[in-house]
Structure 1
């Protein structure tokens, strides 16, 4: 993790931890750097979510890019996976998504995407951070500042809503079956998917019922979307819907709800689609990629289905790296970041919902039945804000408490303590045979963290 950029971009409270000056400098560097690599003018595509501050950051990035000689193409309000799609299909040098994903409206973020539609490499990000700190050394020179473009070399801005529309067409083209007469609920989190998702499902013939699709700049993720799945659960049951899908602020995640109102999280989605691929002889390497946060119950179900699995660090970036390195077809996180490598290079919430619809329609089974073989272990995850993540993690008494819990659980559960990649937070997770045991052991570790003065 870098000085400014975490596992999912540069994220912080708008105009506090992440300022317009930061955004301007990111734009300045990218416009200059890719122009140098290309030996001429480069082109960068930009998308944003519905936060009020996204407009401010969009203009700051555009100012930086064009001042360095790049042309900036604006997708306007759109999803993160759409930026990835447009970058790789339309030949852009790189892409930028302005979003803090599932965070509250007052936060924002800058996600960077390379020319292949993948998350940008750490080396390039380290150059950006060096420039922001006034310590850039590149192309054999030490420089505190990079040159401005002048005269005809100044970049321009281009309205590129057509790129977003092509992405919508691409999603529609992936559907194998008509959704006619299927009653589908969508929770758009008042975020990036607020128009796109309904357009896709309507075009495929579904009877679409949508909530949280009236963004006002401050209601993104507010009691809505994949991090507040209870809202969609209630909506699905009250309206007797066949299925529901909830997205996060930038729609790279999807959590589903079955016809009974049960939550179908990322682990269950991996099982349902992984098994579907295996049954059709299309699960490459017979392997699904998961993270260390996936549930015990998922692995037991995979074992029973004869499906192999790999575990990575938390973050869809690491899942994707593993998939590319080993040629795997599907991978993802419990949180709903699911990557279908045949169709996308990032997690894509709307694509995930289309793929679940495909399984339901192909097998003529409701989502509850498809998820039935997985017996999910109770799991409790609690976050604690800390002054220093490394100090809290490396505290001997904290480590001793974690070891003690691990020994008490034995082979009937597990404990995982990790640092957030995007916030000053330590996450403590326990899986055990009962929820009360989970609560007891999570609280035991949190008490030590607090007692030793690490809580912020």
Structure 2
């Protein structure tokens, strides 16, 4: 069944238009609240948000929706997405909600739902809620309307949990760290957590004004933190995105360390410490072939999934893996969190840095990525079903057989085909990508 509202990571869009209005937020609250009214206990939902201006509007609308169907609301204020998942579970809530559009600009917003176990809702549950959104929900009697309260210690609870993910014997005393919080949800939790563990912290992206989330800072705009790390003579840079479920690292020379390198480090170290489960790491089809080869050299496997952290998580839970993620920086460490957590993943990187005594530039570049090219081609019709495109893909796969890969996928949000290829010969990879892109254009003409 096709989805009307939910995408691969909740509901998302431009605020005050389409699916991202106050009216829609209230309907989601009523539908999700009704769906999770199970049992005879007093029902509760935990709501967090990032720092977007529209967060106030969406939060208020969702409170109205949930309370109108009889569910109590606990408001966390600006908090990272993984904090919502954590607190929903620890507070025995029936549901957790994060109001955020992650790394998108401030004009956008989104709604992510978590179950009582702290995990994002299953496809089955999302579809059930989606079907209820357009239906009139039964409103409770006046005496049964829910209550809403804001808790003041959510920040402290999350910082405590994050610090507990680190071995108690490890201190960060000798590290100077630049932390970029993207003017987002982690602005008042990640820098203090690192400071409490002994690090010298240089903070940036910690002055949210409702409009500047992800603007020229954070994990998708790295120029600022690269320059700051070099300027400060820092040991390492930690860049998060707007809701802090994504991590990109910058070494002391200002060079980017992406999710593939981070997974390689954590996977190898946990394997050597006999902490790694599943015999390997879970990543998406977009992770570099160099990661796969590195893990094989360590006696580990790489399990690939479709693009999206929800698919990574599904494979991790099915195969009992505890390390997974995406090249883009989502790191899921199931020993410590039920969803991607940039701060928790960063602490594992910092622990490795402390224990190794090596500079970040040496420790964090464990393999040389093979040349990888990704191009987007706009299309009309259904070009991937044409003989012309199928032949071009088959020819590309034959050219790179045994020494590379071809990955073709449609975007889920726009009429674009994403053509990715990688292999040892950069010129060969480029030729393969260009040939497939040309075929898609011709088939769409």
Which residue of structure 2 aligns with residue 142 of structure 1?
none
Structure-2 separation of matches of 1:341 and 1:161: 27
Which residue of structure 2 aligns with residue 8 of structure 1?
9
Q: In the alignment, is the contact (CA less than 8 A) between 1:45 and 1:94 conserved in 2? A: yes
Q: In the alignment, is the contact (CA less than 8 A) between 1:25 and 1:64 conserved in 2? A: yes
Q: 1:223 to 1:445 in 2, by over 3 A?
A: farther
TM-score by length of 1: 0.91
Which residue of structure 2 aligns with residue 147 of structure 1?
138
Which residue of structure 1 aligns with residue 322 of structure 2?
329
Structure-2 separation of matches of 1:379 and 1:239: 32
The yes-or-no answer on 1:22 pairing with 2:24 is yes
Which residue of structure 2 aligns with residue 82 of structure 1?
83
Q: Which segment drifts farther, 93-102 or 434-443? A: 434-443
Which residue of structure 1 aligns with residue 389 of structure 2?
398
Which residue of structure 2 aligns with residue 52 of structure 1?
53
Structure-2 separation of matches of 1:122 and 1:44: 20
Gaps of 5+ in 1: 135-144
1:298-329 alpha-carbon deviations (Å, 9 max, x no partner):
11111111122212222221222222222212
- Partner-residue secondary structure (3-state), 1:109: strand
The yes-or-no answer on 1:262 pairing with 2:264 is no
Q: How does 1:271-420 map to 2 (within 5 A)?
A: 271-384=264-377, 391-420=382-411
Gaps of 5+ in 2: none
- Partner-residue secondary structure (3-state), 1:6: coil
Which residue of structure 2 aligns with residue 137 of structure 1?
none
1:273-304 alpha-carbon deviations (Å, 9 max, x no partner):
11111211222242211221111111111111
Structure-2 separation of matches of 1:338 and 1:423: 26
Which residue of structure 2 aligns with residue 138 of structure 1?
none
Q: 1:437 to 1:189 in 2, by over 3 A?
A: farther
Which residue of structure 1 aligns with residue 43 of structure 2?
42
Structure-1 separation of matches of 2:323 and 2:29: 33
State the shift of 1:442 in Å. Answer: 3.3
Which residue of structure 2 aligns with residue 157 of structure 1?
148
- Partner-residue secondary structure (3-state), 1:148: coil
Structure-2 separation of matches of 1:167 and 1:100: 21
- Partner-residue secondary structure (3-state), 1:235: helix
Structure-2 separation of matches of 1:363 and 1:101: 33
Name whichever structure is richer in helix by fraction: 1
State the shift of 1:124 in Å. Answer: 1.9
Which residue of structure 2 aligns with residue 431 of structure 1?
422
State the shift of 1:95 in Å. Answer: 0.4
Q: Which segment drifts farther, 117-126 or 445-454? A: 445-454
Q: 1:171 to 1:40 in 2, by over 3 A?
A: closer
Q: In the alignment, is the contact (CA less than 8 A) between 1:418 and 1:426 conserved in 2? A: yes
Which residue of structure 2 aligns with residue 70 of structure 1?
71
Structure-2 separation of matches of 1:373 and 1:49: 34
Q: In the alignment, is the contact (CA less than 8 A) between 1:301 and 1:375 conserved in 2? A: no
- Partner-residue secondary structure (3-state), 1:227: coil
- Partner-residue secondary structure (3-state), 2:36: helix
Q: 1:208 to 1:383 in 2, by over 3 A?
A: farther
